[in-house]
Structure 1
Amino acid sequence: MDKIWTNSADSHFLEPVDLWREHLPRRLADLTPRSEKDDDGEYETVHVDGQSFRRKLPSSAAAQFLEDSNKPKGVRDARARLGDLDREGVWGEVIFPSLGMWASTFRTPEVLRACMRVSNEWALAEIAAVSPRYVVTAQVPTLDVDDAITELEWAADHGFRAVFLPTTPHASAPDWHQADWEPFWTAAERADMVLAFHVGTDPVDLTKGRQGVVYRGPGGAVLNYTEHTFGGQRAAMKLVASGVLDRHRNLRVLISEGGASWVPFLGDRMLEGYRQHHMAVRPKLARDPKETLLTQVYASFQHDQTAVATHDALGYKNVLFGSDYPHMEGTFGHTQKTLQELFADASPATVRRITQGAFYELFPHVPPVPASTDVIQG
């Protein structure tokens, strides 16, 4: 069957594990994430900015996947990555950090500022410079609003087109729906920067529990995997209900790896709340919340069978495919099989919208998929 070429609104890159430690002065480097393995190799203790927690190391298939020797070469090599993408039929892609996923666990503003700048400078030189097919997300410190604005403006000046944001800021910072962040939204709109939220990035007090673990006991693995998708929904809801997107009509929001079928449901629920409880609603909005959600929020999925139906039957057109390269829950190694199954009964217009159209609305600077799909590593 003909290859279905797609763009991906969700992927990840593995930075050097010692990136922050090597580029920061010792007093700051010692606060960045580091781990110490137990003598038996079964557990490790992780230290982050004065916090420590102990966790069991992965075993069997998970450990094998995490070994560098078993990862696709492109996970650490931006040039080799192009070959991986070409074989999978993925053209442009949004790239989220890996080290940066620790950002919401920091507590010291100076350390966080320094780490974010190091990451951004490194990503520009080692990923973005390799190919215009890469949309690398800038990282900003969210412990302090002014720090976030400063780094956002620096990133925009250096060519970034998207900013990676945790679904909830640091626990000590105001939440996204609070007025404190208004100057940040203004700066993002002025810079034409896409707000890229990735699920699973709510802050965690590491002294109380391991990152990503909410439930223990029967069903825990499925419960935790499902739970971390809700953060993206909450982030979108906050930006809509508080009037952020109503005031900033040119802001576009990407919720990556959280599926797509939740968007129409959430729109209905918010509209009902706005309408039925209008006497208590503040602020009043110029547009109804469902319209704002469906027009300014974009959502990516990888395996969800409901995503195509959401586009066709529920009126939500800002659906994007994301391969989640190279994570275990992603499609690497079977992207074409997945796409063929997802789009088996879809119209050509639907396929094009989900694989390319919505992506290019967000990132028109990415070169178009070449007419001849023989072109590789372009």
Structure 2
Amino acid sequence: MRAYQVIDADGHVVEPLDMWDRYFDDSYRKRKPKMVTDAGGHLRFELDGRLWPTPSGPGAGRPEGLGAFYAPDSAHRREGGWDATARLADMDREGIDIMVLYPSLLLMGVPVLRDAGLAEAVCQAYNNWLHEHCKTDPTRLIGVGLIPLQHVEVACREAERCVRSLGMRGVMAHPAPSDERNLDHVDFDRLYATMQALDAPLAFHEGGSGHQRTLSSYRYDNYILTHTLSHPFEQMAACANMIVGGVFERFPSLQVAYLEAGCGWLPSWLDRLDEHVARLHHLAPSLRLSPSEYFQRQCWISCDPDERTLASTIALIGDTKIVWASDYPHLDARSGPVKTFHDVQASLAPAALKAILQDNPRRLYGLSSQ
């Protein structure tokens, strides 16, 4: 019998096709999100007049669109994306005890909604549905709410509702600036104060598919590049900006997770930040700790099931701030993620495996040991 639980710190739901009919605010009914077929015959998500993933041009998403999620004949279709009973069966088969849930379609789109009321309606509909999804087995299915970062008042209000009323274990936002404000902008301090007071984590998760200004979306039109670059580059920028910009100095209890970007880049990134802050401290005079120390105190990062750089990452930064994620049921998720992880990480000490698979995600999300 295994000596520890396997907690998936970043699994995904696939928003059901009828979610908007069932949960969306009637006052915004004419602007209800929907699925459409594009000129090429591919299924896409339409939100406020824009198609996701972007069919072509800068920031292009998967050319085949979203059919792989929903088409009955798709090899990638997983009913567990929207059916909680099917998800639990998949978790049992894969050996996953608990899964923390993030969106799929709504990783795209929300950051560019300029109408605060519409953004709130979209997030509320999703969060209400997710709450119902998790009620099938709330000890194993853990929800993380979605907030519109660009509308700070709405984001704070929805974060409070998600954590206090819906029992969610944190909230998530997109790491890329949604307008001209970076993550250290004083406007976001109210959100950071809210999350600190709630004693719940703020997670950043990239979506990477056009219509918004990201480090890859305005430069490349090949999905290999937009997807490969968007996730780690955006999280590197978000992490650096929050540390150097003094967010963690101003909010010393705030906990932030940077997800689905791998972890192999982190040691060299922290080394570089440490060196620059030490040499150029006059440009960040409020910092009383090194970037590495802020990260160890307040930040978390996820690793992939087959991440070959994990052992070297642990050797440099330790194993206390790393969590494990399957990415189920996305197209780049690995088959047999738990077995893959144990096979690839066979050299890790049992204590490190236990920390990454159980102890760290429990601490991050405030999960019971039962």
How far apart are 1:258 and its partner, in Å? 0.7
Q: Is 2:121 aligned against 1:114?
A: yes
Corresponding residue to 2:220 among 206, 215, 219 = 215
Corresponding residue to 2:270 among 254, 267, 270 = 267
| One-letter identity of the residue aligned with 1:82 | L
Q: Indicate conservation of the 8 Å contact 1:48/1:105, yes or no.
A: no
Aligned to 2:112: 105
Corresponding residue to 1:134 among 134, 141, 145 = 141
For 1:70-219, what aligned pairs fall within 5 Å after superposition?
A: 70=75, 71-101=77-107, 102-128=109-135, 130-158=137-165, 159-171=167-179, 174-200=181-207, 204-205=210-211, 214-216=219-221
| One-letter identity of the residue aligned with 1:215 | Y
- In structure 1, distance between residues paired with 2:159 and 2:355: 29
* Inter-CA distance 44–119: structure 2 relative to 1 (3 Å threshold): closer
Structure 1 window deviating more from structure 2 (99-108 vs 109-118): it is 99-108
Aligned to 1:330: 333
- In structure 1, distance between residues paired with 2:148 and 2:367: 26
* Inter-CA distance 242–326: structure 2 relative to 1 (3 Å threshold): same
Gaps of 5+ in 1: 369-378
* Inter-CA distance 90–46: structure 2 relative to 1 (3 Å threshold): closer
Q: Indicate conservation of the 8 Å contact 2:99/2:140, yes or no.
A: yes
RMSD between aligned residues: 3.1
Q: Indicate conservation of the 8 Å contact 2:362/2:368, yes or no.
A: yes
- In structure 1, distance between residues paired with 2:169 and 2:2: 32
- In structure 1, distance between residues paired with 2:219 and 2:70: 23
* Inter-CA distance 308–320: structure 2 relative to 1 (3 Å threshold): farther
- In structure 1, distance between residues paired with 2:347 and 2:33: 47
Aligned to 2:250: 247
How far apart are 1:322 and its partner, in Å? 0.4
- In structure 2, distance between residues paired with 1:111 and 1:361: 34
How far apart are 1:43 and its partner, in Å? 4.8
- In structure 2, distance between residues paired with 1:60 and 1:271: 42
Q: Indicate conservation of the 8 Å contact 1:6/1:355, yes or no.
A: yes
Percent identity over the alignment is 25
Q: Indicate conservation of the 8 Å contact 2:17/2:35, yes or no.
A: no
How far apart are 1:38 and its partner, in Å? 5.0
- In structure 1, distance between residues paired with 2:20 and 2:317: 45
| One-letter identity of the residue aligned with 1:160 | M
Moved over 6 A (4+): 1-4, 56-62
Aligned to 1:48: 47
Partner of 1:90: helix, strand, or coil? coil
Q: Indicate conservation of the 8 Å contact 1:168/1:201, yes or no.
A: no
- In structure 2, distance between residues paired with 1:278 and 1:58: 43
Aligned to 1:14: 14
Structure 1 window deviating more from structure 2 (307-316 vs 104-113): it is 307-316
- In structure 1, distance between residues paired with 2:205 and 2:81: 18
TM-score, normalization by structure 1: 0.84
Gaps of 5+ in 2: none
* Inter-CA distance 142–214: structure 2 relative to 1 (3 Å threshold): same
Q: Indicate conservation of the 8 Å contact 2:163/2:198, yes or no.
A: yes
- In structure 1, distance between residues paired with 2:285 and 2:257: 23
Structure 1 window deviating more from structure 2 (9-18 vs 51-60): it is 51-60
- In structure 1, distance between residues paired with 2:4 and 2:341: 7
TM-score, normalization by structure 2: 0.85
How far apart are 1:235 and its partner, in Å? 1.4
Q: Indicate conservation of the 8 Å contact 1:3/1:336, yes or no.
A: no
Q: From the CA coordinates, give the structure whose radius of gyration is larger.
A: 1
- In structure 2, distance between residues paired with 1:213 and 1:63: 25
